[in-house]
Amino acid sequence: MVQENVFIYGAYGYTGKLIVDLAVKKGHRPVLGGRDEEKVKVIANQYGLQWYAFDCNNQEAWDTALNGKQLLLNCAGPFSLTIRDILPACLRNKVHYLDITGEIDVFEYISRFDKEAKKAGITLLPGTGFDVVPTDCLAVFLKEQLPDATHLELAFDSQSGLSRGTALSVLNRFHQGSAVRKEGVIVPSKTASVSKIIKYGGQERLSVGIAWGDVFTAFYSTGIPNIEVYTGMPPKMLKAMKKASKFGWLIKTWLLQIILKRIVRKKIDGPSINKRETLRTYLWGKVMNAEGKEVVAELETPESYKLTAITALLCAEGVLEGKVKSGYTTPAKAFGADFILRAGGSRKIK
């Protein structure tokens, strides 16, 4: 049982609240934090938990909040905008760092501090939620089936929709387009420039290539040099994405970013309770070696936001129990390919 030695920052966001609720139900007593005092206070009072409110660039406040803590679970995104203030605080205070990001540049940035983390005796484990636990585990499983694999394709189909935080993260990097890994190097590509039909759970679905976190993490976890990631998408949405990509230069301007972010904050909340409890998420993966031999595997999990709360806490518990070495790592590298099966309701599909 965690006794106030875990700090959850961004606790009042859509996913943060799910994690806090599940943590309390499991008997944990995390300390909560975030940038908005009133919002932090509301959720902390709901569960009778200690709390702090401060901007993520306030290093003095971080030293106070992290005093006596063993682990930080960062739920405050866009992570590319918060990580450069938060990670130094964890290294300085020798506190394990975990988050729920799916942003390639964040994984890349955090991995640079592997040596510093080892010196401090702490673990750096980003991507403990749906981004990227199930896909990371699927990638490692496939690598075990075909050890000489040179190409990896991963895909998922989720009908959940987006939370406000996820939508803001997508908006923040939309102009950067997509990305794949070729011969070990991450290569940018145009948004929605690659698509294919993939069968999830027995049903075919149009899927589009995206800049998912596994483009970085799966290479670290498996060593496979060529990686692509896809997600199921309705044809109309794919057409809309292609049209929007032509205006990437405009979308990244500060004025339009402000306008679009206001719309997101006003219009988007996140999946309903009914969706979280009834929807299933399907994942697909394929590896191929130089001789053309292929291995395909599928995975079924609970709804993606529900899964994030489950796996984030499982990762935190594992780190606190001393099951993970210090330094930078990935979920499957830390806990093995079958880690996803510890999340109730997950199963491999033959």
| Sheet (strand 327-328) strand order | 51-53, 29-34, 3-9, 71-74, 96-99, 123-125, 327-328
Scanning the structure block, which residue is given the tokens 């420039």? 193
**CA–CA separation, 183 vs 281, rounded Å?**
30
H/E element, 3? strand 3-9
Same fold across 3-129+306-335 and 133-304: no
- The DSSP code for 319 is H
The predicted model gives 253-278 an average pLDDT of 63
* pLDDT on residue 110: 98
Which of 2-11, 128-137, 175-184 is predicted least confidently? 175-184
Domain ranges within the chain, ordered by starting residue = 3-129+306-335, 133-304
* pLDDT on residue 206: 86
Residue 268: band (very low, low, confident or very high) from pLDDT cuts 50, 70, 90: low
SS3 content of the chain, % helix, strand, coil (to 5): 45, 25, 30
Please state which of the four CATH numbers 3.40.50.720, 3.30.420.40, 3.40.1670.10, 3.40.50.1000 is assigned to the domain occupying 3-129+306-335.
Answer: 3.40.50.720
- May I ask the CATH architecture of the domain 133-304? 2-Layer Sandwich (3.30)
Token digits of residue 119:
């010196």
* pLDDT on residue 231: 86
Taking 90 as the threshold, does the pLDDT of residue 1 lie above it?
A: no
Are 156 and 144 a contacting pair, CB within 8 Å?
no
The predicted model gives 275-286 an average pLDDT of 90
Taking 50 as the threshold, does the pLDDT of residue 264 lie above it?
A: no
The residue among 271 and 281 whose pLDDT is bigger is 281
Number of other residues whose CB lies within 10 A of the CB of residue 82:
22
Interacting residues of 271 by C-beta distance below 8 A, sequence separation 6+: 160, 161, 163, 279, 303, 305
b/e string for 280-308 if b means 16 or more Cβ within 10 A?
bbbbbbbbbeeeeeebebbbbbbbbbbbb
Token digits of residue 13:
């966001």
C-alpha radius of gyration, the chain, whole number: 19
Pairing of strands 294-302, 195-200: unpaired
Pairing of strands 185-189, 178-182: antiparallel
Residue 2: band (very low, low, confident or very high) from pLDDT cuts 50, 70, 90: very low
Interacting residues of 34 by C-beta distance below 8 A, sequence separation 6+: 9, 10, 11, 12, 13, 16, 40, 53, 76
The residue among 242 and 185 whose pLDDT is bigger is 185
What is the share, in percent, of the chain residues with pLDDT greater than 70?
Answer: 82
* pLDDT on residue 34: 97
Interacting residues of 236 by C-beta distance below 8 A, sequence separation 6+: none
Taking 80 as the threshold, does the pLDDT of residue 126 lie above it?
A: yes
* pLDDT on residue 265: 56
* pLDDT on residue 4: 75
Alpha carbon distances (Å) from 148 to 85, 141, 222, 329:
40, 13, 10, 22
The residue among 289 and 232 whose pLDDT is bigger is 289
Amino acid at 122: I
* pLDDT on residue 261: 46
Are 86 and 75 a contacting pair, CB within 8 Å?
no
Alpha carbon distances (Å) from 83 to 195, 294, 320:
31, 38, 21
What is the share, in percent, of the chain residues with pLDDT greater than 90?
Answer: 67
Taking 60 as the threshold, does the pLDDT of residue 163 lie above it?
A: no
Residue 168: band (very low, low, confident or very high) from pLDDT cuts 50, 70, 90: very low
Average pLDDT along the chain? 87
Number of other residues whose CB lies within 10 A of the CB of residue 173:
15
- Counted residue by residue, the chain has a size of 350
Residue 344: band (very low, low, confident or very high) from pLDDT cuts 50, 70, 90: confident
Interacting residues of 281 by C-beta distance below 8 A, sequence separation 6+: 130, 134, 156, 157, 158, 160, 300, 301, 302, 303, 304, 307
Which of 89-103, 110-124, 197-211, 247-261 is predicted least confidently? 247-261
Interacting residues of 268 by C-beta distance below 8 A, sequence separation 6+: 162, 163, 164, 167
